[in-house]
Amino acid sequence: MFMAVEALRRVLVKVPDYTLAWVAYDGAEAVSKCAADTPDLILMDVLMPSMDGVEATRRIMSQSPCAIVMVTASVNRYAAKVFEAMGYGALDAVNTPAFGDDGLLKKIAMIAQLIGKSSHRRSLSIHHSKSLPPLIVLGASTGGPQALTTILSQFPQNFPAAIIIVQHLDAQFIPGFAAWLNEQIPLAVQLAIAGASPQPGKVLLAGTNLHLVMRPDLTLGYNKEPLNFSYRPSVDVFFKSVAKNWTGKGIGVLLTGMGQDGAQGLKRLREAGWHTIAQDRKTCVVYGMPKVAVELKAAVEVLPIEAIASTCIKYTSKHLTL
């Protein structure tokens, strides 16, 4: 299940008049981003581990003031902090459960009228202490099924990361591949269907001869374009869409395969702040895709296949879980 920040996003994308300016995951980041790009409205969580919403509100209203709505699981429970934030300039507060209905949109519309932004496009930012689930994306071609099994079999059943795979394989063989993987590893493997969302502890597998993509609303979809790619689905197309749209951080892994698909996408992920891994020459069946990634300096680490899972587990535990 997505956390509150994703519930917010799902509400906002329904209304074309709202433009999402940015997303921040701690108070200091929110203050910094607001100074660089001040939105019309900030949806600000009350509780944060490093800088709570009260202090972030105080600093924003002091340095780059804008409308702020406090967000919390219980306005009543955290009333003291909510009122303190309002003392620094926050306009209102909303309970997290309101994300699933029209209550949030009505409150935003009311504030838009209040601040005189109801007649044109409005920019908003989301700030919440709970980020998206950790995400691991993997691309593979020749030799990929065994490499993927080696990695995925080492993840525990309660692994907190969501996992998405693009394997070069004709669509007619993908259901059988998913069934085979399910027998080899402790995690549940499913075909990625249009509209699906990454979920912790589940593996989603590109399942058609179209390109798997991450949409702006953080659901998965399939595109015919670009038509001139040799591989369908393309690892590059998927990785680049993730780098563009996934607002959390994660781990990108490029495994054994012929050609260069995925190398540019892995580089894009690294540039977006992801931890990127390429399989090493010795353990690749075909050292093509990872080789190009290494040449492009797209990989933070180059690892033998046996070491990739433990690195993902360690990195996920240290950097991506709350």
Summarize pLDDT for 69-126 with one digit per residue, the tens.
888 776 667 777 877 887 787 877 777 644 445 667 777 777 776 666 654 455 665 5
- Between CA 217 and CA 185 the distance in angstroms is 29
The pTM of the full predicted model, rounded to 2 decimals, is: 0.63
Asked if the domains 4-127 and 135-320 are classified in one and the same CATH topology, the answer is yes
Handedness of CA 28, 30, 31, 35 (dihedral sign): positive
Residues 228-262: tens digit of each pLDDT: 877 889 999 999 999 999 988 899 999 999 899 99
Tokens of 83: 């009122």
Among the listed residues 168, 211, 234, 236, the single catalytic one is: 168
Of 141, 197, 234, 241, catalytic: 141
The domain locations on the chain are 4-127, 135-320
- Our answer to whether residue 45 is catalytic in this structure is no
Which of the pair, 122 or 175, is modelled with greater confidence? 175
**CATH class of this structure's domain 135-320:** alpha beta
CB 93 within 8 A of CB 70: yes
In angstroms, rounded to a whole number, what is the distance separating the alpha carbons of residues 258 and 241? 22
Residue 190 near residue 202, CB atoms below 8 Å? yes
pLDDT digits (tens, 9 = 90+) for 193-237: 998 889 899 999 999 989 999 998 889 999 998 888 778 899 999
pLDDT digits (tens, 9 = 90+) for 126-141: 555 445 788 999 999 9
Q: What's the topology of domain 4-127? A: Rossmann fold (3.40.50)
> CB of 137 within 8 A of CB of 253?
yes
Count helices and strands (H / E) in the chain: 11, 14
Confidence of residue 310 (pLDDT cuts 50, 70, 90): very high
Say whether 168 is catalytic: yes
Q: Among this protein's residues, is 120 annotated catalytic?
A: no
- Reduce the DSSP state of residue 164 to 3 states and report it: strand
Question: pLDDT of 14-36, one tens digit each?
Answer: 665 677 888 887 888 889 999 98
C-alpha distance from residue 312 to each of 116, 152, 193, 238, 288 (Å): 47, 10, 25, 20, 22
Out of 40, 52, 261, 280, the active site residue is 261
